[in-house]
Amino acid sequence: MKNYFKIVLLFATLPLFSQNGNIKGKITQNNEPVSAVSIIIMPVGTSLAADNDGNYEIKNLPYGSYEIIFSSVGLRTERKKITVNKPETVSNIALIDESQVMDEVVVTGTMKEISRTESPIPVEIITPKLFKKNPTASLFEAVGMINGVMPQLNCNVCNTGDIHINGMEGPYTLILIDGMPIVSALSTVYGLSGIPNSLVERIEVVKGPASSLYGSEAMGGIINVITKTPTKAPVVSADYFMTSWGEISLDGAVKIKAGSATSLLGVNYFKYGVRADKNGDNFTDVTQQDRISIFNKWNFDRKENRLFSLAARYVYEDRWGGEMNWDKKFRGSDSIYGESIYTKRAEVIGLYQLPTTERIFTQFSYNWHDQNSYYGTTPYMATQQVGFIQAYWDKQFGNDHNFLLGAAMRYTHYDDNTPATANADGTTNEPQKTPLPGIFIQDEWTLNEKHKVLGGYRFDYDKNHSGVHSPRVAYKFSPNQNNIVRASFGTGFRVVNLFTEDHAALTGARDVVITEALKPERSFNGNLNYVLKVPTDFAFINFDITGFYSYFTNKIVGDFDTDPTKIIYDNLKGHAISQGVSLNTDVTFTFPLKVLAGISYMDVFQIEDKGFGDERTQQLHAPKWSGNFVATYSFRNNYSIDATGNWYGPMRLPILPNDYRPEYSPWFCTANIQFTKKFDYGLEIYCGMKNVFDFVPKDPLMRPFDPFNKNADDPVNNPNGYTFDTSYNYASMQGRRVYLGMRYNLF
């Protein structure tokens, strides 16, 4: 009888041991549903996706504890632990915009992964989520969404340009791809053109010198393009848009799994072949472009999660601008003016963690850049190769010291058809070969929960300039989670390669005169940064304000004023200063509205001893006031509207003697608007308008009717002695245009 009762009791309790329950809930962002969110249930590994209204339901889970992972492109991945102990469990979750997460990981400031909040170096970030609010065909334009960063076109004919940080010209900005100085000054515009947007994880910007870690060229700031880890990327992604001006942009990527390796293959194609002359000067308003770029990145699985990645990119572009009736048969001739540039570029980037108990990493890169160009009748044929290898030891000493020790070697081979690579008597060609070895050390010392100090030092040796010392120190004070104060001081240097850096030196409009052997430039910079987070009942508000001061010595300046037919280069007999303050605000309301806005005031000038007293000159293309804005409102059923834009105050422009054009540009704003509809399964349709106010500069070219200056010496018809000039530029000549596009992501 006793055994009988045991058997009855066993069968009676079996349902209790085999009970199952369901988990259901709703996924939102800013109180609006998020569709197609990827959901993974651990440890069982089951996956599913939320429906169009953000609802999800996981059925028939045995009672127990689980971890649910919620992930979606552009939103921070969330992990939530849930216990199933009843037939139905409700679990709602709100996802956060990844671009607005203050604790996201950054690497550029310290060359190692650290949360953005904990970093003693302020780092600004834009993600694809942000720059897709105003789609562009290249990252060169996208970085303009960061306050204080200005993509500057330097020529109204060929539309090449560089990137200014806090008013300093392009040569002071170091461009990195995955932490590698892969983009040399010769190719800044090409280094950020052709990187498939679908492969970009984020873009990190550090303002101010960082030569203590990155060496030459990091005098004014760093832009680091972080590409996606293939294992975390979508299986397929694509983005296509076209504009009413005839621009076509296609961007796509596919993930491929091959054994222990995962590959991400991306392609970017941009075509603009419609000749437009809306200002009636017989020159193309926008350069004609035909560009293709292929990018392939591999990640390899290794024991103990050690890192090994390899990436390669190839870019080809054919661009030209000039008179409307120009054709390739006129390339280099003096009958019809055109500026034609053929560019071929190849890059290889690698990272390998040594199989040791210590964290020792090696990084390497190589790039080859070939430019075949004519600026009117002036040929510019240049080839540049840059090899880079670096090894560093990342060591944690106790709980307080995060240590970095490394060595790097950069070798540059540059050859062109200009005096830059001629021997002393100008009779034979002599390519520039520049080895630049360096060692660096850094220690990040956590004094306590509120105080952190970072110290760094780098020593580089250049064959022409001997040893260069680059120290840096930073301090972070965080009394609580809503207040952060950062202060830093650093130095920078730049080894000069003049002809690769100044497009004006390449045009056929002016002769180049170098007055002496140029010395390396140096900079000394101080920054004070304050971050305030203000949670309220109606919004979460972030304030980020930075004051900066940079002092430059040996600055290389181009004298455009002494002789209108020449550019005279010399080290400045004096100094230059870049100083100012910038404020960024980020407001996320409890209703579905998000606003980002920034404003900068900067004063960039140089003081030069003219022999009869010091003379102050305002920096070209450096507006004292500038700002940006991004506003997003989300509607029901996955509709949204984005308003973005940049505005600039007056900036000094390169004018000719007795120029009838104003020396300073007017106040202007370039505003854009976009409407987006998200569908199920990762599909988006978007449309919008760029340059809503249809702002374009006036009189960008001087004497466009005589581009070869054949009649410039006529005192009757040209009493002021004007010559053809293309450098009077402060904004794109591309007016208002509408666009339509489609995106797709498959996970």
Whole-number pLDDT of residue 512: 59
Whole-number pLDDT of residue 336: 95
Between 36 and 295, whose confidence is greater?
Answer: 295
- DSSP codes, 248-284: EEEEEEEEEEETTEEEEEEEEEEEE-----TTSSSB-
Q: β-strand 566-571 against 511-514: which pairing, if any?
A: parallel
Helix (H) or strand (E) holding 532: strand 521-535
The 10 Å Cβ neighbour count of residue 220 is 28
Token digits of residue 162: 């560089």
In the block, residue with structure tokens 């991945």 = 77
Where is average pLDDT lowest: 268-282, 309-323, 554-568? Answer: 554-568
Whole-number pLDDT of residue 124: 86
DSSP 8-state assignment for residue 194: S
Between 154 and 415, whose confidence is greater?
Answer: 415
pLDDT at 501 over 60: no
- In this predicted model, what pLDDT tens digit does every residue of 321-353 receive, in sequence order? 999 999 999 999 999 999 999 999 999 999 999
Nearest residue to 212 via CA among 462, 447, 523: 523
Burial class of residue 184 (count of CB atoms within 10 Å of its CB; 0-12, 13-18, 19+): buried
Burial class of residue 495 (count of CB atoms within 10 Å of its CB; 0-12, 13-18, 19+): buried
Where is average pLDDT lowest: 67-76, 122-131, 701-710? Answer: 67-76
Average pLDDT, the chain: 84
Whole-number pLDDT of residue 115: 76
pLDDT at 13 over 50: no
Query: Binning pLDDT at 50, 70 and 90, where does residue 432 land?
Result: confident
pLDDT at 443 over 90: yes
In the predicted model, what is the mean pLDDT of residues 293-306? Answer: 89
Query: Binning pLDDT at 50, 70 and 90, where does residue 431 land?
Result: confident
pLDDT at 508 over 80: no
Under 8 Å between Cβ of 153 and 729: yes
- In this predicted model, what pLDDT tens digit does every residue of 221-243 receive, in sequence order? 888 888 888 888 888 999 999 99
pLDDT at 169 over 70: yes
Whole-number pLDDT of residue 467: 83
Backbone angles phi, psi at 405, to 5 degrees: -140, 130
Query: Binning pLDDT at 50, 70 and 90, where does residue 188 land?
Result: low
In the predicted model, what is the mean pLDDT of residues 177-205? Answer: 72
Half-sphere exposure (Cβ direction) of 238: Cα atoms closer than 13 Å: 10
Instruction: Determine the Cα–Cα distance for residues 211 and 468; give it in Å rounded to an integer.
Output: 10
In the predicted model, what is the mean pLDDT of residues 496-514? Answer: 52
In the block, residue with structure tokens 């806090």 = 166
Whole-number pLDDT of residue 500: 47
- In this predicted model, what pLDDT tens digit does every residue of 648-683 receive, in sequence order? 999 999 888 889 999 999 999 999 999 999 987 889
Whole-number pLDDT of residue 426: 65
Whole-number pLDDT of residue 12: 44
Where is average pLDDT lowest: 57-66, 574-583, 643-652, 681-690? Answer: 57-66
Put residue 685 in one of left, alpha, beta given phi > 0 → left and psi -120 to 50 → alpha: beta
Whole-number pLDDT of residue 216: 72
Query: Binning pLDDT at 50, 70 and 90, where does residue 439 land?
Result: very high
* Residues paired with residue 368 on neighbouring β-strands, in sequence order: 346, 385
Burial 322-349 (b: 16+ CB within 10 A, else e): bbeebeeebbeeeebbbbbbbbebebbb
Query: Binning pLDDT at 50, 70 and 90, where does residue 557 land?
Result: low
In the predicted model, what is the mean pLDDT of residues 450-466? Answer: 87
Query: Binning pLDDT at 50, 70 and 90, where does residue 9 land?
Result: very low
Q: β-strand 149-153 against 161-165: which pairing, if any?
A: antiparallel
pLDDT at 372 over 50: yes
Q: Which domains does the chain have, with CATH numbers?
A: 2-96 (2.60.40.10), 102-225 (2.170.130.10), 226-746 (2.40.170.20)
The CA radius of gyration of the chain, in Å to the nearest whole number, is 28
Where is average pLDDT lowest: 211-225, 413-427, 436-450? Answer: 413-427
Token digits of residue 587: 């407001």
Where is average pLDDT lowest: 4-8, 494-498, 694-698? Answer: 4-8
As a dihedral over the C-alpha atoms of residue 726, residue 728, residue 731, residue 735, rounded to 10 degrees, the angle is -60
Whole-number pLDDT of residue 89: 83
- Classified as helix, coil or strand, 56 is strand
Query: Binning pLDDT at 50, 70 and 90, where does residue 73 land?
Result: low
In the predicted model, what is the mean pLDDT of residues 560-572? Answer: 66
In the predicted model, what is the mean pLDDT of residues 707-723? Answer: 90
Burial class of residue 259 (count of CB atoms within 10 Å of its CB; 0-12, 13-18, 19+): exposed
Whole-number pLDDT of residue 503: 44
- In this predicted model, what pLDDT tens digit does every residue of 79-111 receive, in sequence order? 787 888 888 888 888 887 654 444 567 787 777
Query: Binning pLDDT at 50, 70 and 90, where does residue 515 land?
Result: low
Alpha helices per DSSP H over 193-347: 211-214
Token digits of residue 569: 């280069």
In the block, residue with structure tokens 């230059």 = 576
Cα dihedral sign for 457, 462, 468, 470?
negative
In the predicted model, what is the mean pLDDT of residues 622-649? Answer: 92
Under 8 Å between Cβ of 606 and 577: yes
Whole-number pLDDT of residue 559: 65
- In this predicted model, what pLDDT tens digit does every residue of 587-618 receive, in sequence order? 888 788 899 999 999 999 988 887 777 888 89
